[in-house]
Chain A
Amino acid sequence: MVKKRVWSALFLAALLLLSACGTGSNNGKESTSPANGTNNESAGSTLKPAKLKIVLYGDESNRMKELSKAEFKDLIKKEINADIEFQFLPWTEYGGGKTDLMLSTGEDFATYTDTNYMVKSVAKGLYTDLTPFMDNAAGDMKKSIDDNSFTAFQLDGKQYAVPVGNKPNSGEFYSVLARQDLLEEVGMTGISSLAELEAFYDKVHAKHPELIGYASTDARKMLMYEYTDKNLFWQNDMLAIDEAAKDDKVISWFESEDFKAYAAIMRGWYQKGIIPKYAATNLPQLQSDWNSGKAMFWAGTAARPFEGAASITQAVPTAKLANYFLSKDFPKISRGTYSTAWFVSANAADPERYVMFFNLLQKNQELYDLFAYGIKDKDYTLDENGRLTRNTTDALIPDWLLMNKNFMRFDNTVPDDFIAQYKAWDDDAIISKGAGFNFDNTPVKNEETKINGVFSELLAPIASGFLDYDTYFPKALEKLKAAGFDKYMAEYQKQFSAWYAAKS
C-alpha cells in the first residue's frame, strides 16, 4: 500500500517536472523564433522586417499593455515595418543591475540612459554608435529638438544616444518651488531673497507647526545667489565651473569659500528646523512629506509646479505651487539637454530601425499624442483650447520621458500664463560652457571610488548642515586629500581644458 503511494507520488512529481520543463522550452523557442520567422505584411513599406525590444522602467499599466499589443504595435509595423516589444523592469535595474546584464550578454534592445551611465558603458563598448543613422533616420527629431541636446550625448564626436524629448531644463533646481497657497495664507506675495524665504518659514511655522520647511537636504543651487557672486554650475558633487567667467577653470567646490558660506546657511536651517532632524537618517521621508503636502518648499524646475501638483492636491486639495528665484541677476544655465537619451545595445541587429522608432515618438503632434496619451476620445479628450482631459490614470509610454515643449498638452488646471512662462523658460538661458563634456574616469577610477566614499560619509553631512563646518571640515578635507582628490582634480582639469580648447 505504502509502496504504491510512494511510487504514484513520485510519478506525479516527475510528470509535473517534465511538463514544466516541456512548456518551458517551448516558450523559449517561441520567443526566439519570430526573429527570422516573421515576414512582411505591410505592403507600403520597402523596409525589410525587423524586431525591436524597448526596455522601460517602472510599472506597466493595463492600458499600456493593451495598446502595446494593438494600436502601438500596428502603427509601428505600418510606419517602420518593425515588430515591437516593450519590456518593463523595476526602477532598481536602471543604469545597472539587469540592464547591465542584458548589455554585457549582448542582448538586442534599446532603452534610456543618462550621461554618467553612457560614459561608463561606451568605455566597455556596450552601446552602438548611432552617428551613421542620424541624418536619414532621425530627421523629424532634429526638427523638434535642438542641436545642443544631441551634442550632449556625443563622445569623441560620435552619437551614442539620442535625446528622448525636449523640455525646458535650464535653471534646474536653482529656484525655490514654494507652496503658493501657504505663502498667500501668511500674507506674502513672493520670495526674492533668503531673508524672505526664512520669513516665509517662520510665519508658516507659527501657524502650522506640523509642517516641515525644506523637503530636501541639498540647496546649493537654490541658495547660490545668496552665498556667492559666481554663477556656479556643478559638474558633479565635487566640482563646479563658473559660468560668469570666460575660462576653463574647474573649481573644487568643497575647498572654496563659497562652500563654507553655504554650509553655514545650511547649519542654521538644520538647527532652526527648516530641514527636519530626521532628514539625516531618513531621506526618502522628505520626498514623501513633500508629496503629501507636509512641506513648505522644495527645489524647483520649470515643470515641477504642474508635474508635482497632482500628488500634493490629493492630500491638500487647495495646494498651489510656484517657482521663485532668490535673485535674477544671473542668466539661467542650461546643460543644453534633457538629461535622458535613448541608446541601442551594441549587439542590436538593426540599430537604424531603433533610431527610426525614436524618431517616430517625436515625429509630429499626432504620433506624440498617441504615444503619450493614447487614443483620442477614448483615453483622452481635448477641449476647444486644446486642453487635455485624460480618461484613464494609466501611464502609457511615460509622458515625462517623451515630454517635448512643442507637442505636450496641459490640462485645465494649468493657467495660460504659466504655459506661456513654461514655454519661454529657456529663452533667456545660457548653455553651460561645459555642456557636452563627458569625463573619462578610467585613469582615476580608484580615486573616484574613494572620494565618493568620503563624500557620502563626511562631506554630505556637512553640506546638509547636520554637522558643523568648523569642527568637522578639517578632518573631512584631510580624508579627501588622502583619497587622492588632488590627482582626481588634476585629471579632470586636464581633460576639461583639452576639451575646452578643442571646442573654442
Chain B
Amino acid sequence: MANQENRMLIVVFYACISLFALICLIPFVMAVSGSFSTEARLAAEGYSFLPRGFSLDTYAFMFGSKAEQILQAYLTSAIVTVLGTASAVLVTTAYAYVITVKGFRYRNFFAFMAYFTMLFSGGTLPWYILATKYYHLDNTLAGLFVPYLLNVFLMYLQANYFKSIPHEIIESAQIDGAGHIHIFFRIMLPLGQVGLVTISLFYALQFWNDFYLPLLLVSEERLYTIQYMMYNMMANIQYLASGNSAQIGGAIIAPPLETAKMAMTCLTVLPIAILYPFLQRYFVRGIIVGSVKG
C-alpha cells in the first residue's frame, strides 16, 4: 500500500518536474531554432520549434564577421572566470578565517566593517571615481574581477562553515606549533571544503555572467567579455525598439538581425550548457559532503 502510494507520488513528481523542465526548455529551443532559421522567414512567420527554412547562414555570418571578437570575448570571459574565482575564493576565505579566529582582538571590528558594506554603500559615482581615478582599473583585465573579490554574503557563509569546525582541532594544531598560515591552509581550507565548493560555484557563475564591470570600466574591445557583447547587442536592440531613438533625430536605425540575436544567445549559453552536466556532479557532491557524518 505504502509502496504504491510512494510510486504514485513519484509519478506525480516526475510529471511535475518534466513539465517544469519543458517550460524552461521552450525558450532555449526557440532560440536555437531561431538561430538556424532564415531571416526572411523568421521575420515573416515568427518563432517556431523547428527552424524555418534551415540555414547556417547566421553562424557563417557571425563567424565570418565577428569570429575574432567572439573568440577573444570567450577567452576574456574564461580568464576572468578562472582568475576571478581563484582570487576571490582566496580573499574571501582568508577574511572569513580572520573573523572566526578565537583570540584575535579586532575580529568583531573587521566583521562589522564587512557587514557595514552590506547595509550602506557609497553609490555608483564614488565607486566609479575610486575605480578609475585612484585604482586605475579602467581598461584593465584586473578591472573585470578585482571589484568583486569580496562578496560579504559569501564571506559570512564561509565563516559559518569555519565556525562549525571544532575549535579543539585548531588548538591541537597550535600546540603542535602550527602558525595561522599553516592552520588556514592545512586545516581550515581542507575541512571547510563544503563551503569552498559552494562559494566557488557562486563566484564562477557571477564572473561568467557579469556585464556590469565591463560596461563601466572597459572601452577597449579586446577586454569585452562574452556577456558584455551580448548585453551590448540586446541593449541596442531594446533601445531602438522602444521608440526612444525617435527623440534622436527621428531616425530609424535598422536593428540587428533577429537570427543574429538568437545565434549570439546560443553562443553565450553554450559553454555553460556543455559544462553544467559535468559540474553538477561536483555541485551535488559538495552539498552532501559531511551530511552523513555524525
Contact call A23/B241, Cβ cutoff below 8 A: no
A:346-388 near B, CB below 8 Å: none
B113-121, B197-205, B246-254, B269-277: which lies at the A interface? Answer: B246-254
Residues 140-156 of B contacting A (Cβ, < 8 Å): 140-143, 145-146
Contact of A307 among B136, B137, B252, B255 (CB under 8 A): B252
Which residues of chain B are near A167, meaning CB under 8 Å?
249
> Cβ of B194 < 8 Å from any Cβ of A?
no
CB atoms of A114 and B141 under 8 A apart: no
CB contact list, A319-370 vs B, under 8 A: 338-340
Establish whether residues A59 and B236, one from each chain, have CB atoms under 8 Å apart when the complex forms.
Answer: yes
Chain B min CB distance to A291 (Å): 7
Contact B236 A58 (CB under 8 A): yes
* B39: interface (CB < 8 Å): yes
Contact of B251 among A116, A292, A310, A400 (CB under 8 A): A400
**Are A21 and B146 in touch, CB under 8 angstroms?**
yes
Interface presence of B169 (CB below 8 A): no
Q: Which residues of A contact B160 (CB under 8 A)?
A: none
A17 & B141 in contact (Cβ 8 Å cutoff): no
- Does residue B185 face the partner (Cβ distance < 8 Å to A)? yes
* A339 x B253 contact (CB < 8 A): no
Which residue of B is nearest A24, CB measured? B140
CA distance A464 to B87 in the complex (A): 54
B124 close to chain A: CB less than 8 A: yes
Question: When A94-B248, A105-B128 are in contact, do A315 and B44 touch as well, CB less than 8 Å?
Answer: yes
Pick from A24, A314, A315: contact of B141, CB under 8 Å: A24
Given contacts A20-B141, A58-B253, A59-B256, contact A114 B247 (CB under 8 A): yes
Partner of B241, one of A101, A284, A293, A316: A284
Chain B: interface secondary structure? helix
Question: Which chain B residues numbered 220 to 278 have a C-beta less than 8 Å away from chain A?
Answer: 221, 231-233, 235-236, 238-256
Residues of A close to B19: CB separation below 8 A:
none
User: Nearest residue in A to B46 (C-beta to C-beta)?
Assistant: A292
Question: Out of B86, B132, B186, B239, which one reaches A13, CB within 8 Å?
Answer: B86
Q: With A and B bound together, what is the CA distance between A172 and B233 in angstroms? A: 28
- A307 to chain B: which residues have CB within 8 Å? 251-252
Q: Which of A13-30 contact B (CB under 8 A)?
A: 13, 16-17, 20-21, 23-25, 27-29
Q: Is the interface of A mostly helix, strand, loop or mixed?
A: helix
Q: Does B83 touch A at the CB level, under 8 Å?
A: yes
Cβ contacts under 8 Å, A24 to chain B: 137, 140-143
Counting CB contacts under 8 A, is B216 at the interface?
Answer: yes
Q: Given known contacts A16-B83, A59-B256, is B243 in contact with A216 (CB within 8 Å)?
A: yes
The segment from A84-92, A129-137, A406-414, A474-482 found at the interface with B is: A84-92
> CB distance A94 to B140 under 8 Å?
no
Roughly how many angstroms separate A493 CA and B39 CA in the complex, as a whole number?
51
Asked whether A105 lies within 8 Å of B125 as measured between CB atoms, the reply is yes
Inter-chain contacts of B136 with A (CB < 8 A): 25, 28-29, 32
Q: CB-CB < 8 A to A104: which residues of B?
A: 125
Q: Which residues from chain A contact B186 at a C-beta distance below 8 Å?
A: 3, 6
Task: Establish whether residues A94 and B253, one from each chain, have CB atoms under 8 Å apart when the complex forms.
Answer: no
Residues in chain A near residue B215, CB distance under 8 A: 90, 93, 98
A55 to B181, CA, bound (A): 49
A172 to B96, CA, bound (A): 61
> Are A13 and B87 in contact, with the CB atoms below 8 A?
yes
Which residues of the other chain, A, contact B219 by a CB distance below 8 angstroms? 87-89
Partner of B87, one of A17, A287, A316, A340: A17
How far is B231's CA from A98's CA once the two chains are assembled, in angstroms? 14
* A403 touching B249 in the complex, CB below 8 Å, given contacts A13-B87, A101-B125, A315-B44: yes
Asked whether A92 lies within 8 Å of B238 as measured between CB atoms, the reply is yes
Which B residues touch A216, using CB under 8 A? 243
Residues of B within 8 A of A438 (CB): none
With contact pairs A17-B86, A23-B141 given, residues A314 and B252 touching in the complex (Cβ less than 8 Å) = no
* Chain A 133-170: CB-based contact to B (< 8 A → 1; otherwise 0): 00000000000000000000000000000001101010
B39, B235, B248: the one contacting A339 at CB < 8 Å is B248
Residue of B nearest to A290 (CB): B252
Q: Quick one: which of B185, B242, B251, B252 contacts A284, CB cutoff 8 A? A: B242
Q: How far is the CA of A23 from the CA of B83 in the complex (A)?
A: 14
**For the side of the interface on A, what is the size category?**
35 or more
- The verdict on A308 contacting B252 (CB below 8 Å), with A17-B87, A101-B216, A293-B44 known, is yes
B9 sits at the interface (CB 8 A) = no
| Cα distance A27–B216 in the bound complex, in angstroms | 16
Is B133 in the interface zone, CB < 8 Å from A?
Answer: yes
Residue in A91, A310, A338, A400 whose beta carbon sits within 8 Å of that of B236 in the complex: A91
Shortest Cβ gap from A12 to chain B (Å): 8
* Across-interface contacts of A25 in B (CB, < 8 A): 136, 140, 142
Q: Indicate if A304 sits at the interface (CB-CB under 8 A).
A: yes
Residues of A within 8 A of B140 (CB): 21, 23-25, 27-28
User: In whole Å, how far is A319's beta carbon from the nearest beta carbon of chain B?
Assistant: 12
Contact yes or no, A92 B141, CB < 8 A:
no
Q: Is the CB of B142 within 8 A of A20?
A: yes
A301 adjacent to chain B (CB < 8 Å): yes
| C-alpha spacing A175/B241, complex, angstroms | 21
Q: How far is the CB of B178 from chain A (nearest CB, A)?
A: 13
Determine which residue in A16, A293, A310 has the highest number of CB atoms from chain B within 10 A of its CB, and name it: A16
Whether A455 sits at the interface, judged by CB under 8 Å, is: no
Residue of A nearest to B185 (CB): A6
Bound CA–CA A1/B255 (angstroms): 58
The 9 lowest CB-CB distance pairs between A and B, nearest first, are A24-B140, A91-B239, A400-B251, A24-B142, A28-B136, A90-B235, A284-B241, A292-B43, A315-B43
Given contacts A16-B83, A59-B233, A314-B39, 8 further A-B contacts (CB under 8 A): A6-B186, A31-B138, A167-B249, A287-B243, A291-B254, A291-B255, A292-B43, A304-B252
Point out residues on A near B: beta carbons under 8 Å: 3, 6, 10, 13, 16-17, 20-21, 23-25, 27-29, 31-32, 57-60, 62, 65, 87-94, 98, 101, 104-105, 112, 114, 116, 164-165, 167, 169, 172-173, 216, 283-284, 287-288, 291-293, 301, 303-304, 307-308, 310-311, 314-316, 338-340, 398, 400-401, 403
27 contacts between A and B (CB under 8 A): A6-B189, A16-B87, A17-B83, A25-B142, A31-B139, A57-B236, A90-B215, A91-B236, A91-B240, A94-B244, A101-B216, A105-B132, A112-B248, A114-B247, A114-B248, A287-B240, A287-B243, A291-B43, A301-B250, A303-B251, A311-B255, A314-B43, A339-B250, A340-B248, A340-B249, A403-B249, A403-B251
